[in-house]
Chains A and B, each alone.
Chain A
Amino acid sequence: MTESLQSESKRGVPLWAQLLIWAGLLGLLALVALGLAKAKTPILTNGSAVPEFTLPLYEGYEYGGAADVTLAALRGKVVVLNFWASWCKPCESEAADLEAAWRIYQPGGEVVFLGVDYVDTEPEARSYLAKFDITYPNGPDMGTRISQIFNRNLGVPETYVIDRQGILRYVKIGPFASVEEIQAVVESVLAGE
């Protein structure tokens, strides 16, 4: 065996290179750790403040006379935010119930229903809205910006209930089974303050 180690030029790794290596390595690990944490809890948790967003509304819908609605404008009201899509079969099973619940709460003015159409095509979305005669404000989730706030891996339907202070209070993954179920949720959020 030939030992070909050399006596001269026995320099270790220069300090700057060491720093660079450790910075790179720890950066990579931090990145992965954050990614992992996000992957583990993809959904906005109950009790956290919902970041601001703006929902542009489809033609024929309006809120307070405007063609779009912001979360800030809804402060003081309970918001039922429903994500749906026209290609989503389970959404159809809850569409009529949501509309019925909306008609119960609309006169009181304390609760606002919002429909967010998740990655959908406009013509199909319009016929879906017409088919279920949906009257509460509806609009497209432009660039999936709104769904990204609530759930990194959003599936449809999902419903988020936000209280008067803009705090998320209830998350429903999947469709509601009945009007009563929706009412029970809304009532609990209304009363919970």
Chain B
Amino acid sequence: MREKTPQRILFLAFLFLAMSGLFLSARPSAVVLAQQPTPSDDEVNAIAHQLFCPVCENTPLDVCDTEACRQWRDLIRQMLAEGRTEAEIKQYFADNYGVRVLSEPPVEGFNWLAYVVPPVAFLLGAYLLFRAFRTWQRLAKEPATADSPQVPPAAADDQYAARFEEELKKRE
């Protein structure tokens, strides 16, 4: 039902935007699901961590201590034991308890806006900044006129810095 490709393209676009330094936090998202009679706590938590408690605000399901959450974790365990995949379990939770149990809005319909607006706004900002750079650079190329602005006198620390640079140059 949910398409994977546009989601991936968006993520890539977003990644690209922010250029060089990338440190995404990659949490181990998919534990390989072994078909075993009673799935371990870790296997349950790996999925519960990606879901939010439907009755408390902003609490991931793996650290929520209400009775209700405990039932939901048991449900995950049971579904794992039945051999359901992680995607199926998440889908089941979203269908039954509303999409707000997912840690992100699913990329469909109106929710596209959630993913599109920040990169577009960022690009727009980058464009405006670039345009301003160009204007300033053009100003720099023009010969200085009589009423062209005075650069304020460098502050004390800059003078010091300049002297210090001089000092360095003499030595190197």
Chain A contact residues, CB within 8 Å of chain B: 2, 4-8, 85-87, 119-121, 123-124, 140, 142-145, 148
Contact check: which of A6, A85, A119, A123 meets B149 at CB < 8 Å? Answer: A6
Q: Does B109 contact A (CB under 8 A)?
A: no
Contact check: which of B74, B94, B98 meets A145 at CB < 8 Å? Answer: B98
Chain B residues closer than 8 Å to A119, beta-carbon distance: 54-55, 68, 96-98
Chain A residues closer than 8 Å to B78, beta-carbon distance: 123
Would you give 16 A-B contacts (Cβ < 8 Å), ordered by A? A2-B153, A6-B147, A8-B147, A87-B66, A87-B67, A87-B68, A119-B54, A119-B68, A123-B78, A140-B96, A142-B95, A142-B96, A143-B95, A143-B98, A143-B99, A144-B97
- Indicate if the CB atoms of B96 and A143 lie closer than 8 Å: yes
- Indicate if the CB atoms of A121 and B54 lie closer than 8 Å: no
Q: Does B72 contact A (CB under 8 A)?
A: yes
- Indicate if the CB atoms of A4 and B149 lie closer than 8 Å: yes
What 1/0 flags go to B39-50 for Cβ under 8 Å of A?
000000000000
**When chains A and B are docked, how far (Å) is the Cα of A6 from the Cα of B150?**
9
Chain A residues closer than 8 Å to B67, beta-carbon distance: 87
Find the B residue at minimum CB distance from A119.
B54
**When chains A and B are docked, how far (Å) is the Cα of A121 from the Cα of B72?**
7
Find the A residue at minimum CB distance from B148.
A6
Which interface class (under 10, 10 to 19, 20 to 34, 35 or more) fits B? 20 to 34
Q: Is the interface of B mostly helix, strand, loop or mixed?
A: helix
**When chains A and B are docked, how far (Å) is the Cα of A7 from the Cα of B146?**
11
Min C-beta distance of B145 to chain A, whole Å: 9
Q: Is the interface of A mostly helix, strand, loop or mixed?
A: loop
**When chains A and B are docked, how far (Å) is the Cα of A124 from the Cα of B72?**
10
Chain B residues closer than 8 Å to A7, beta-carbon distance: 147
Chain B contact residues, CB within 8 Å of chain A: 54-55, 66-68, 71-72, 74-75, 78, 94-100, 147, 149-153
**When chains A and B are docked, how far (Å) is the Cα of A120 from the Cα of B55?**
10
Chain B residues closer than 8 Å to A2, beta-carbon distance: 150, 152-153
Chain B residues closer than 8 Å to A123, beta-carbon distance: 75, 78
Min C-beta distance of A115 to chain B, whole Å: 16
**When chains A and B are docked, how far (Å) is the Cα of A172 from the Cα of B149?**
72
Chain B residues closer than 8 Å to A4, beta-carbon distance: 149-152
- Indicate if the CB atoms of A144 and B68 lie closer than 8 Å: no
Find the B residue at minimum CB distance from A145.
B98
**When chains A and B are docked, how far (Å) is the Cα of A64 from the Cα of B151?**
85
Find the B residue at minimum CB distance from A86.
B71
Chain A residues closer than 8 Å to B99, beta-carbon distance: 143
Chain A residues closer than 8 Å to B147, beta-carbon distance: 6-8
**When chains A and B are docked, how far (Å) is the Cα of A63 from the Cα of B18?**
56
Min C-beta distance of B135 to chain A, whole Å: 9
**When chains A and B are docked, how far (Å) is the Cα of A148 from the Cα of B99?**
13
Counting chain A CB atoms within 10 Å of each CB, the highest count among B54, B72, B75, B98 belongs to B98
**When chains A and B are docked, how far (Å) is the Cα of A4 from the Cα of B74?**
69
**When chains A and B are docked, how far (Å) is the Cα of A119 from the Cα of B55?**
8
Chain B residues closer than 8 Å to A143, beta-carbon distance: 94-99
